[in-house]
Amino acid sequence: MSGESGAGLLIRDLRVVFDGFAAVDGVDIDVPPGDVRFIIGPNGAGKTTLVDAVTGLVKATGSASFGGRELLGRKVHHIARLGIGRTFQTATVFEELTVLQNLDIAAGTGRGPLTMLRRRSGVPPVVAEAMEAIGLTGERDKPAGALAHGRKQWLEIGMLLVQDARLLLLDEPVAGMSQDEREATGELLGLLSRERTVVVIEHDMDFLRRFARTVTVMHAGRKLSEGTVAEVQADPKVQEVYLGHAPTAPDRPGGREGT
Amino acid sequence: MTLVFSQLFTGISIGAVLLLIALGLSLTFGQMNVINMAHGEFIMAGAYTVYVLQQVISGAGVSLLVALPVAFLVAGAMGVVLERLLIRRLYTRRLDTLLVTWGVSLLLQQLARDVFGAPNVQTQAPELLTGSVKILSTGAGDLVLANSRLFILALALLAVAALTLLLRATPLGRRVRAVVQNRDLAAASGIATGRVDRVTFFIGSGLAGVAGVALTLVGPIGPTMGTNIIIDAFLVVVVGGIGQLKGTVIVAFALGMMQSLVEYSTTISVAKVLVFLAIVAFLQWRPQGLFTLRTRSLA
Amino acid sequence: MTGPGTAAGRGRFRLRASQSRARTAAGFGLAAVALFAVAPLALGDFRLNLLAKYLCMAIVAVGIGLAWGRGGMLVLGQGVFFGLGGYAMAMHLKLADAGPGDLPDFMRLYGQVERLPWWWEPFTSPVFALAAVVLVPMALAFLLGSLVFRRRVRGAYFAILSQALAAAMAIYLIGEQGTTGGTNGLTDIQGFFGYDLADPANQRVVYFIVAACLLLMLAVARQLMLSRYGELLVATRDAEERVRFLGYDPARVKLVAYVVAAGMAGLAGALFVPAVGIISPALIGVVPSIEFVIGVALGGRATLVGPALGAVGLAWAKTALSEQFPAGWTYFEGLLFVLVVAFLPGGLGSVAGLVRRRRAVPAGAPEAPEAPPGVRPGGPPEVPSFLDPRAASSSPLEGTVDGAVDGALEAPAPGEPTREVAP
């Protein structure tokens, strides 16, 4: 899948080192615009760290650019303003604010001081659309903390929608979801990818087979394999790595330490 | 030249006092993220322990020696009670522990006032510690070090050594370090974090008691003796890096030196302000303190 | 498609907004009646003057409620800003008392100063002094805040730093006796812009000014809390990193609240000087700074009027009790503080809310229950207790008290998640 892709996510020789340990060890990844790329790999493969590096959370060397603009070295909120949004393994929403308030905040980075100092006097159209898309219109005035786990994940995705991110980095979006919720999330992914580039870190192989367009497999901080789902599954290197852990699907990590 | 040395030594002895106080804080703050404002009153309890013991035991030297372990136990016990009664309930609201323990410190101060009276009380220093040693003799004057200051320095270093040994070489220390680094994982691997917390709080508070004993040698003993010194000690912990013993040691002495040197070239009041500015500047460079635990957490 | 973007949805919004406006207007109106009519009629000169002093504390508290309650910044050094405002005002008044070209009395008394120090000079101008009252604290807060927030110094670190600042400032003022009045501070202030402060009629005017300023600051705080900025501030308090990943700079969000709170404290300090006639290090150091926070915690940190009521209540109780039972008062204060913060983080006002919430309130219902009646029994009756923001809005605070009582006031940061166990 490597090729010329001007406006997508371009990662070159990315390295993240923690105390001498290379969590990400020289990775090259191209995600062309409009792709739905899944990144998989066993625990400790460096998947989340990769996303952390791209979003500015951890320091990295090498290069990561999106839409031709270099991301490394910028501050987190500057990277976000370049149209890069992410979710976290554990849904992180503003628990005490309502669904509407959560989305309104996500939509508001471009607002001037005067708008900020006034009260919200209605529902901005993008927020209404996003609420409809994630199916939370009925729970508009509910505090986000009171939402079910799966719905918090959707709310987080909805926040990316209104944030108008061009590149979405989703860290295990269906973890802990029921089958129906996974289904719905998959459809949401399809909707998202119409105008955006999507990168998903996921362990759920069923989900991957159904919704991935392309897959990158990471192992021990390096890229192991890349291609379509079928190509990757047929790759003997991938089978070798995974068979050591589990025959069909790898375990879910217990938390952030794992990855 | 002697002047510089004597200022340096003043700095070291200020640092030693700070270190003794900050050591216990570093333990409780570092491990449990609990800001215990009542730590100052545990110091006070240690100091009053000397006072009480001197009413019973004649002989300043003996009473001081007896006071060290007794003060450790008294303050440690107070710490455990505080932990059991209040702090344990506030783990999810760590900032609030600061306010709650401040309320506790108000109560303890008033208790001290009611029991011992509002004015400062006096204790006797053992003869051995009232003198001084001549370290250096030059034409410009002698460099004289007070025995009491040397004793505090030795005590502080001893406490650091003991604590290091405890943390590095005992099973308890291993558990404590495990909890500091990752509480959830420690709990998951079968460590009774609640018990570790209690022991940590006991030791940390006990060290405050020891510091209180040491303070009787250099300053007045009164109900508010703790509040004045506790803020500097907190700064030591913050600048040293939370849960970092070596950071606490280095910063305690650095801050002591700085305070003494700046004070010498300006005034006490200006020194306070300059030291504060220096700390803010330092945090620009190392916002998490001198040494940090590297974790993957976002916080 | 019956989305909220539809006309019906927007209509509901407008209705709610207008209801809330009406209620707020009523609340402010009643507060104004109480402060401007009832209190002056019911209280003698002495008590009215005391109330003016308490209302100054309330102004500081309103700012703390914004910075701490909504912004999560535990500001333990508001005394610094209170002091800056107070000293700026007192410096001008001392110079005015002394008359043109003459030194303030204490400078001649201590005999360390022959000429007016250069940094006293500008305070001869009333305009400069009045501007400095608010701008100097705000500037200091801006400076410190931008340094500290930018480097993500927060939580306990920030609290300790702000406290250390209060300690350093008090020690500095005491040490520089010749130019600051030292431990005594600036005392014995006679006039207030040409009016004699000894005259009870003028003291009444001072009271009215203080009361008006309090109402104004409540209005400012209310606007900030209910605006989009206020929602963002709460979001930043609860999940700073998440806000950052949305493209905001949390440092700037927090800075606004911090600077506004500092300005309010400065204003309060300036008003305190004519009302009480003194400003001194003992009023601005570590202990008074924490006492500001205590009042706020008692009244309900995240509400609009809770902090003000708590501050007034605490100051009132202190005056009433501490003279008669000094020891008893300290026990009471300490115990009250321990119990309220540990077991009632929503403040005393949340008791009523808790009781009411037991009777099932529909989840997320914007028609929030009436505000918690403010102060503890025996609190001063002058101040109405219904000016709660929750009574007036579909406010984010609907959940706050509940959450707080459940011990979940600090939502987990993204990095320290309440881990979900995989099915």
Give residue limits of the domains in chain A: 9-247
How far are the Cα atoms of C8, C12, C13, C154 from residue C366, in angstroms, in the given order? 16, 11, 10, 32
Q: What is the DSSP letter of C361?
A: P
In the beta sheet, which residues pair with residue A10? A30, A65
DSSP symbol at C304: S
Residues forming a β-bridge with A123: none
- Of the candidates B184, B294, B297, which has its C-beta nearest A19's C-beta? B294
Query: Is residue C350 predicted with pLDDT exceeding 90?
Result: no
Of the candidates A207, A156, A157, A200, the one whose C-alpha atom is nearest the C-alpha of residue A178 is A207
Distance CA A219, CA A41 (A): 6
pLDDT for residue B158: 94
Residue of B nearest to C297 (CA): B99
C363 pLDDT higher than 60: no
Buried/exposed C219-240: b ≥16 CB within 10 Å, e otherwise: ebbbebbbbbbbbbbbbbbbbb
Interface of B with A (CB under 8 A): 182, 184-185, 294, 296-298
Please state which of the four CATH numbers 1.10.1740, 1.25.40, 1.10.860, 1.10.3470 is assigned to the domain occupying B2-285: 1.10.3470
Distance CA C162, CA C140 (A): 12
Size of interface B-C (CB pairs under 8 A): 150
The shortest CB-CB distance from C155 to any of B95, B106, B284 is to: B95
- Please tell me the least confidently modeled range out of B47-51, B132-136, C96-100, C263-267: B132-136
Instruction: Residue B298: list chain A partners with CB under 8 A.
Output: 57
Contact C422 A175 (CB under 8 A): yes
Interface of A with B (CB under 8 A): 18-19, 57, 255-257
Is residue A162 within 8 Å of residue A126, measured between CB atoms? yes
pLDDT (average), residues A193-211: 88
* Contact flag A19-B297 (C-beta cutoff 8 Å): no
Give A215 to chain C, closest Cα distance, Å: 23
Indicate whether C296 pLDDT > 90.
Answer: yes
Helix (H, G, I), strand (E, B) or coil at A24: strand
Restricting to C residues 394-423, those with a Cβ less than 8 Å away from any Cβ of A are 394, 396-400, 403, 408, 411-412, 414-415, 417-423
Q: C417–A89: do the CB atoms touch at under 8 Å?
A: yes
pLDDT at A152 over 80: yes
What residues of chain B lie within 8 A of the CB of A256, using their CB?
296-297
Residue C308 has what pLDDT?
Answer: 95
**Edge-to-edge, what's the strand order for the sheet holding A222-227?**
A84-86, A167-171, A197-201, A36-40, A214-219, A222-227
Token digits for A48?
A: 């989340």
Structure tokens at B116: 């011992």
Closest CA to C61 of C276, C221, C202, C277: C221
Facing B294 at nearest CB: one of A18, A255, A256: A18
pLDDT, tens only, B30-67? 777 788 999 999 999 999 999 999 988 877 788 888 99
Cα dihedral sign, C344-C347-C352-C357? negative
Pick from B94, B98, B269: which is nearest to C175 by CB? Answer: B269
Q: What is the pLDDT of residues C82-102, one digit of tens each?
A: 999 999 999 999 999 988 888
Task: Say if residue C351 is exposed, middle or buried (CB neighbours under 10 Å; 0-12, 13-18, 19+).
Answer: middle
Q: A-chain residues within 8 Å CB-CB of C248?
A: 77, 109
Mutate to test the interface with A, among C245, C252, C256 (most CBs of A within 10 A): C245
**Which one is predicted more confidently, B33 or A74?**
A74
In this structure, are residues C283 and C86 in contact, taking their beta carbons and an 8 Å threshold? yes
Query: What is the distance between the alpha carbons of residues C385 and C388, in angstroms, rounded to a whole number?
Result: 8
Is C377 touching A (CB cutoff 8 A)? Answer: no
Furthest C-alpha separation in chain B: 66
Q: Which CATH number among 3.40.50.720, 3.10.180.10, 3.40.50.300, 3.30.70.20 corresponds to the domain A9-247?
A: 3.40.50.300
CA-CA distance, C176 to C113, in Å (whole number)? 11
Please tell me which chains touch B, using 3 or more CB pairs under 8 Å as the contact test.
A, C
Sorted by where each begins, the domain ranges of chain B are 2-285
Q: What is the ipTM of this complex?
A: 0.87
Tokens of B149: 């200051």
